[in-house]
Structure 1
Amino acid sequence: MKKGLFFIVILLLGFRVAAQQKLLLKGKPNSMYVEHRVGEKESLSSIGRMYGLTASQLSRFNGRSPSAVLSKGSTLKVPLSISDISQKTGTPVYHAVSKGDNLFKISQRYNKVPVSQLRTWNKLGASGVKNGQELIIGYIKINTDQSLASSSQKETVADKVAETAVATEVAAKSTVSEPAKAVPVKEKEAAQEFHKDNEEKNNATAPVNSSLSDEGFFASLYVRDDLTLVQQYRSGDAATFKTISGWTDRKYYVLINDIKPGTIVRITTPNNKSICARVLSPLPLTKGDEGLLLRMNNAAASALGMKDEKFTVTLTFFE
């Protein structure tokens, strides 16, 4: 009986492995891609979510309309860059050995992965490589759970409640050395009701990963947007505000003027650390904020390794 069950398990695993697509790198070094075979009911949007791309990015790379209907069994080119390939677990990516290739050259081409690692991944032992041989050179993360991707289309009630609580907490803890100036009603409303159009655009295109990014909870919502958006840059001094948010859920927030609430920004410090945060509201009208570019919650500053009261940051966002 046990032997029969063992055989069935092995058989099922074999079918599962056979169903997985082998991702073979193609194209030139500055325009690499893998081919995805379109499955049942798959679209540019659903495939894009799997690879962390948008429908517009995929359609442009493939010379198709963003609304194109994909036929089952057809192939779609999925652009990849060297930075997308890691030496950690995930879905393996392969390189086809060509004339003149050797393990050292392949190693240098793909993130300088150790030759010993290439031998281990491909069970090469002390042997060399042959022309046409397909070698694992790294791994990429693919989100095949479409239920997770679908859940990213809507912001949860818990998120809205948490962000409103942060805004309330910030307002309650704001202190000044002179009589406080009233915060305009519009700013209070902005802190509680985020820019709906921007939120829907970000949520509609961003993939959801099962684990949080190194840049925080909102990292998956940064950029990945349509080609009409232009990247903007800011730099200046930053300070912090105290809140309980961000320490466990890694949801980072900033107060900054002239950027729509709800916008996701990337903040980088001189130590080359970065986090992604959501704009909560404009800077409050308080003494001591003159000359500040932004304030971020203290959990964000801790993630960046910043301990000073004020520090320099560079900020990028898309609008």
Structure 2
Amino acid sequence: MRKLLNSLVFLVLFSISAGATGDSLSYLTPKDTIFLKVDDFGNKIFCHQMEKGQTLYSLARFYGLKVNALLAYNSHVNPEIGFVPGTPVNIPIPDSAFIKTWEHGYPKAGFVPVVYVVKHGDTFYRIAKHYFNIPLDTLQFWNGLKETKMYTGMKLHVGFMPLDGIPDSLQRANYNPIGTKMQQLQWKFEQRKSIDAPSFQNGAAYWQREKRGRSDYYCLHRTAPVGSVIQIKNPMRHKTVYAKVLAPIPDRAYGDDIIVVLSPTIAKLLGARDPKFYVELKYF
């Protein structure tokens, strides 16, 4: 009977529609639900809709992030312009921030449900084992499923998150959208910078929007050594990333005005919308 009751409780959660979370006083309230998606880098992302009285600084602090880290996930947000109520802001949610197993049934207070929204190409096994590390039969039981057939947009209950937010100690891997790999590139750049002064360059960057890739953090440059790390800044978007030089820019393949060719991943992290856009470089 208790198992049946728990299953019914979980199913009721799915009737909650995705919308604004929190209010002018709180970023999460007991009536809210955290709807997660997994992006191309494997980050679990929750879309928060800003309310009147909320600020990017306090939002970042509530979810354990620095403002610059929060902006790295939100190329559409310009901190100098601000936002209007209803503006969507992407929040990375680490696995350790929510409860995926519990021994005493449904948490009665102090938590909000965490729900995963199925995307095209997902499988039940991938969601359970790779995304959330939940036993298959447990995920099936939580959601009252007799079979594992799914559809795009389907909502699966995967855990609970505390109402009081996320400690910054749990968000360190999310300071960059591609996590520790970007941090390693930055560390390598800073190590070289402590020995040699970097060269500066500004001009047009180019990337191919139609080219698809996953977590490719490379670039092409005319003179920087292959294997070295370049710092790339988009001053219009207030975004800075680091990329590894894969090869020189091929002769006659691009115009003389192109100073760097970027992978789609790097371009998107910089908030690029057009194939060509202005950047500032530091390299060795």
TM-score for the superposition, normalised by structure 2:
0.40
**Could you say which structure has the higher helix fraction?**
1
Structure number with bigger Rg = 1
Larger RCO (CA under 8 A, 6+ residues apart): 2
TM-score for the superposition, normalised by structure 1:
0.36
